[in-house]
Structure 1
Amino acid sequence: MDFPDLETDRLYLIQLSEPHVEDFFDILSRDDVTKYYGTDPLNSRDEALEIIHMFQEAYDKQIGIMWSIMLKESNKFIGSGGISNIFLKGKRADIGFDLHPDYWGSGYAMEACREILNYSFGNLELYRIGAQVYPNNHGSRKLLKRLGFSEEGLLRSYFYQRNQFHDALTLSLLKDDWA
């Protein structure tokens, strides 16, 4: 099965793969990015490569799709985004994304997420997309709400990061709301 490359006005969304390991590591080793990521910052390129392989395996098993977010104008890797926990029979999945801080506030995350949602609801025929975010992650919460996500509730001690548990706010978007 060929990986579904996507395209927006300013971005290419292509499969996250080994050639992206340096940039992927650069993003996920940063405290400002991983502060609300749900995992500790990466310490090595080997860890980044292991995650990339995990995403490739998830795609092969049809339980996840992770795209590299690339600028069209320069073909520069600026982040990643995708869906995980895909349950095709149940018509649901979760969305997640990360972006290098140099590109925060540029609208790239919104643009990438819109295309991922279009693909998820259209091509995969999913009905529900969920998201879990730290309550203090105001940027991601604002983005998800602008996309039409609704807050559903608090998941107590959902994330374990930096040797402590953290609550997560769960949000969802239904296909009917997207259409």
Structure 2
Amino acid sequence: MEFPILETKRLNLLEIKEDHVDHIFIIFSNKEVTKYYGMSPFTQKEQAENIIQSFSKNFQEKRSIRWGIVLKETGEFVGTVGLNNLLLSSKRTEIGYDLLPEYWRKGIISEAVESVVHYCFEMLDLYRIGAVTFPENESSYKLLLKLGFKKEGLLRGYIYQNDKSNDAFVFSLIKPDWKK
């Protein structure tokens, strides 16, 4: 399967490659970005190299797709958006995203997620897209609700981060609701 490049009005969503290692390191070493990510901030470039390799491997194995978010106007690499736990045979996946704090509240993630949701339902013919957020990450779950996701409930002790198990909200968007 060839990597799907997506384009929106302001964004190019592209394959994350080895030459993006500096960008990935900057994003994932930022404490604000990883605060609700389910992992500790990166401290070494090698971690960025490893995650890029895992993005590529998981894409080749059809288990996930991770796009780099690049602003068309400036060419800046500002975040990532992607599908985790992609199960084509079960017609479902989970979506996740991250963005450098200086680009928050500019509609960038909304635009990227809308494009990926469209790709999921139209090109991959999926039925369900899930999303998991920390209950404290209000801006993330409000975004999901705005995009039509429904809150399904609380996953107790679901995300292990900062040496403890944290609860998480689970959301979903199913194809019939999206088509409305």
TM-score tier by shorter-chain length is over 0.9
Q: Following TM superposition, where does structure 1 have runs of at least 4 consecutive aligned residues deviating by more than 3 angstroms?
A: none
Task: State the alpha-carbon separation in 2 of the partners of residues 33 and 4 from structure 1.
Answer: 25
Q: Equivalent residues in 2 for 1:6-155 (5 A)?
A: 6-155=6-155
State the one-letter code of the partner of 2:151.
E
Task: State the alpha-carbon separation in 2 of the partners of residues 102 and 72 from structure 1.
Answer: 17
Deviations for 1:34-92, whole angstroms, at most 9, x for unmatched residues? 11111111111100110111010010000100000000011110000011111111100
Task: State the alpha-carbon separation in 2 of the partners of residues 98 and 169 from structure 1.
Answer: 17
Q: Which structure 2 segments of 5+ residues have no match? A: none
Task: State the alpha-carbon separation in 2 of the partners of residues 159 and 16 from structure 1.
Answer: 25
SS of the residue aligned with 1:24? helix
- Displacement of 1:33: 1.0
TM-score normalised over the length of structure 1: 0.98
Q: Which structure 1 segments of 5+ residues have no match? A: none
Deviations for 1:113-138, whole angstroms, at most 9, x for unmatched residues? 00000000100000000001000100
**Which residue matches 1:157?**
157
Task: State the alpha-carbon separation in 2 of the partners of residues 101 and 20 from structure 1.
Answer: 18
Q: How much identity, in percent, do the aligned residues show? A: 46
The total of aligned residue pairs comes to 179
Task: State the alpha-carbon separation in 1 of the partners of residues 19 and 145 from structure 2.
Answer: 33
- Displacement of 1:170: 0.4
State the one-letter code of the partner of 1:20.
H
Task: State the alpha-carbon separation in 2 of the partners of residues 43 and 159 from structure 1.
Answer: 21
Deviations for 1:140-166, whole angstroms, at most 9, x for unmatched residues? 001100110011111111111111111
Task: State the alpha-carbon separation in 2 of the partners of residues 127 and 26 from structure 1.
Answer: 34
TM-score normalised over the length of structure 2: 0.98
CA RMSD of aligned residues (A): 0.7
Task: State the alpha-carbon separation in 2 of the partners of residues 19 and 117 from structure 1.
Answer: 27
